[in-house]
Each structure stands twice: as structure tokens, then as C-alpha cells.
Amino acid sequence: MINILYFTNTGKIIGGAETQLAGLLKNLDTSVFNPIVICPNSGEYSDLLTSLKISVYISYLPSWKKAISLPFRRFALSHLTKTISKHHIDIVHSSDLWQNYYALEMGKSLGIPTVTHVRNHIMPQRIHKYLINQFDKIIAISGRIKDNLIKGGIDTEKIEFISDGVDLTEFQPNYEKTNVLRNDFRLRDKIVGLVGRIEPFKRQKDFMRIAAEVVKKRQDVSFLLIGDILRKYDRYLRETIQVIKKYAIYNHVVFTGYRRDMADVLNSLDILVTLSGGSVIMEARACETPVIMADRSRQENLIWDDGTGVLNVPDNINDLSEAILHLLNDDELRIKIGQSGRKRVENLYDVRKTSESTQQVYKSLLGMS
């Protein structure tokens, strides 16, 4: 049995990275691989992993990016080593860049291969700040991320391009069209949503500016901000509310808070908008919900259906608002794009296939393939 030690950045909440790791673990070949997960704290995510019969250890790991944590890192590593001493670990896998330091140190102390997942777009000049170059294998979830890694000086032989996956049994079209959002909120005829905790990276303020442009032309649209509200982002939340007040669109905006029923939520949307990417794009497509994505690299005219289920739109308020209006005005096109998205996900992003690709990385590191 091959024991793999995973590092995740939280045990409290379930975000995109946590969903992806859970999908990988659920689809491991348990006749070959045995996962052990280190969570820095306990909560909904650690409980989920435990319910899947996965060994979970709670071990506080101070942030290695802060100099003040330096005296405590060795103690944390020593405690962690004792915690997992009953397991013979064969591979260490960091599922989050913020845990790279501890994954590397554990790999070095045990003399075993290390893997890290890169899920975020990192500028080439910042690659080495996350110690990425020191890992034996690096999994990039997109071609753009892979290109940036290469530009940052990472050996191409170290990089594996494996997309994030989606559980097609959980995320699938609801043809009965049960709308859970209408059960919980008073909404207008059309529903456009953005998913992600309220924070600057997810760009809710920009989404509200886009919504204001749409409302000028259509009054029958509700815009949903779907995600957790954390105290540390209170200032950004207030700024977002100020934008809503500035444009007087408060009657069109709903903060749903954190939702555990994301498949039902995505099925309830007419359009998902994302300004930051993320695995929710695949989840929406799996539900046949069309996606509008801000694309900073796109300047040319739009292609309304390229078979991916995602409409890549130049990253500016005017083009994004016009894209929303175009899809809201064309029911047949929304259906067509949604169906294309489901087929695309079935062909390329089934979590069972992406999990198998990751398992092949493990086998190659151990000379098994």
C-alpha cells in the first residue's frame, strides 16, 4: 500500500481547492493508495474527509510566509512528524501553495518524492517565492498556468498538465427545473450569479458595476452574490455595498451567503458570471448552465458558441454587460451553450479521469509505470 500525505490549507471551509482534493481522494484506487490528510484546523471540510473514511490529522502549521512564525516552524514540523510516525509515508502532496514549505520539509526529512498543485495564476517572476521549483512534480491545472511556470524557470519535465475535475454524478442538469433560489429569496424573472466568498480576488465590486449596466436595459434581472462573508474582508464587503448604493441597484442584488447545495444553486441560475476563474466554471457547465468569463487576453469579436459552454468576454464592464444582455435575450442560445458545456465536461473534465491522471504521476515518481 502506498501512503500519500496531503497538505490542505483549511479544515474549516469547503472552497474550490478543497472540493478538488476531495474529488481526487474519493476516486483513488484504494487497493494501491492510502491517503492521509493534514488539516491546520477542524471544521466542515475535515468532517467531510472523515466521513469519506480518510485519515485526517489536525495539526496547526504557522504561516511560513511570515517572519514572525520562524521560531515556531520547527516545533510544528516536529509535532507533525510524531503525529504521522505510525504511517510509512511514500509521497507528500501539497494541495495548496500556502502549505508548500511544510510539504517540502516533510519530504526532505523523510527522503521521499514531493508533489504540488498550482491552481492559481502566478506571474513568472513570483514562481520561486512559493518554492515551486523545489518539488519533484508540479501539477498545473491549465495551459496558461503551465506556460507561466515555464517562463518562471521551471523544468518542463517537472510539470504535468492535469485539469481540475468535476463529479458528474453530483453536478448534473436538473430537467425538472426546481429552483432552490426562488424558494429562499424573492427574485426577478432572470437570475445571474457570481460564486465565491466576498473578497477582492473574486471581484464582486466589478460584478455590481456590470449589473448596474444591465439593469439600465432590463429590470427583470436579479444578481446573486453567492459565497461566504468573512470578517477579515469586512472592508471589501462595505465597499461592495457602497457600489450597490451608488448605482441604486439594491432591489436587484441578493447576498445568499455560503451555500452547501451548489449543484442545485447552479441549476437555478440562468447565467453564471466569473471574473476570477475557478472550478465553479466546470460545475456550472456540468449543470448545463452557460458561463460568461472575463478574459483579459481577449480583444477580438465574441464567438457566441464555440462548444465549450464558456463565453470568453473581454475583461471590461461594457463587453461583459452586453454579453449578459445578449444571453438573457436569447433563450435558445443559452440552452445551446449549456448543452455544449455539459458535453465538454463529460469528455474532458470527469473527476474520475483527472484523478486517474494524478495517480499516474504518483506511480511515475515511484517507478511503477
Q: Are 190 and 163 in contact (CB under 8 A)?
A: no
Indicate left, alpha or beta for 282 from its phi (over 0: left) and psi (-120 to 50: alpha). alpha
pLDDT at 268 over 90: yes
Of 156-160, 292-296, 298-302, where does mean pLDDT reach its minimum? 298-302
Residues 214-232, mean pLDDT to the nearest whole number:
95
pLDDT at 77 over 90: no
pLDDT at 30 over 70: yes
Distance CA 172, CA 77 (A): 42
Domains and CATH numbers, the chain: 2-165+350-365 (3.40.50.2000), 180-348 (3.40.50.2000)
Helix (H, G, I), strand (E, B) or coil at 91: strand
Question: In terms of Cα–Cα distance, which of 355, 368, 265, 294 is closest to 28?
Answer: 355
219: amino acid identity, one letter? Q
Residues 91-97, mean pLDDT to the nearest whole number:
94
Of 80-89, 90-99, 265-274, 310-319, where does mean pLDDT reach its minimum? 80-89
Q: Are 136 and 110 in contact (CB under 8 A)?
A: no
38: exposed, middle or buried (Cβ count in 10 Å: 0-12, 13-18, 19+): buried
Q: 3-state DSSP helix/strand/coil percent for the chain, to nearest 5?
A: 45, 20, 35
Q: Mean pLDDT across the chain, nearest whole number?
A: 92
**Residue of 281 and 69 predicted with greater confidence:** 281
Q: Are 104 and 134 in contact (CB under 8 A)?
A: yes
Indicate left, alpha or beta for 58 from its phi (over 0: left) and psi (-120 to 50: alpha). beta
Distance CA 136, CA 146 (A): 15
Distance CA 9, CA 11 (A): 7
pLDDT at 209 over 80: yes
Could you tell me what percent of the chain has a pLDDT over 70? Answer: 96
Enclosing H/E stretch for 82: helix 70-83
pLDDT at 304 over 80: no
**Residue of 75 and 319 predicted with greater confidence:** 319
Summarised one tens digit per residue, pLDDT across range 341-369 is 999 999 999 999 999 999 999 999 999 86
Question: In terms of Cα–Cα distance, which of 41, 32, 40 is closest to 2?
Answer: 32
Distance CA 7, CA 102 (A): 8
**Would you state the pLDDT for residue 222?**
98
Query: In sequence order, what are the residues at sequence separation of 6 or more whose Cβ sits closer than 8 angstroms to the Cβ of residue 202?
Result: 194, 196, 227, 275, 276
pLDDT at 295 over 90: no
Of 37-51, 74-88, 281-295, 320-334, where does mean pLDDT reach its minimum? 74-88
Q: Are 32 and 118 in contact (CB under 8 A)?
A: no
**Would you state the pLDDT for residue 198?**
96
**Would you state the pLDDT for residue 80?**
86
Residues 202-214, mean pLDDT to the nearest whole number:
98
Secondary structure, 3-state, 303-358: CCCCCCCEEEEECCHHHHHHHHHHHHCCHHHHHHHHHHHHHHHHHHCEHHHHHHHH
Of 64-68, 70-74, 288-292, 349-353, where does mean pLDDT reach its minimum? 64-68
**Would you state the pLDDT for residue 90?**
96
- Tell me the pLDDT band of 63, cut-offs 50, 70 and 90: confident
Q: Are 59 and 40 in contact (CB under 8 A)?
A: yes
pLDDT at 296 over 90: no
92: exposed, middle or buried (Cβ count in 10 Å: 0-12, 13-18, 19+): buried
Could you tell me what percent of the chain has a pLDDT over 90? Answer: 78
Q: Specify the pTM.
A: 0.85
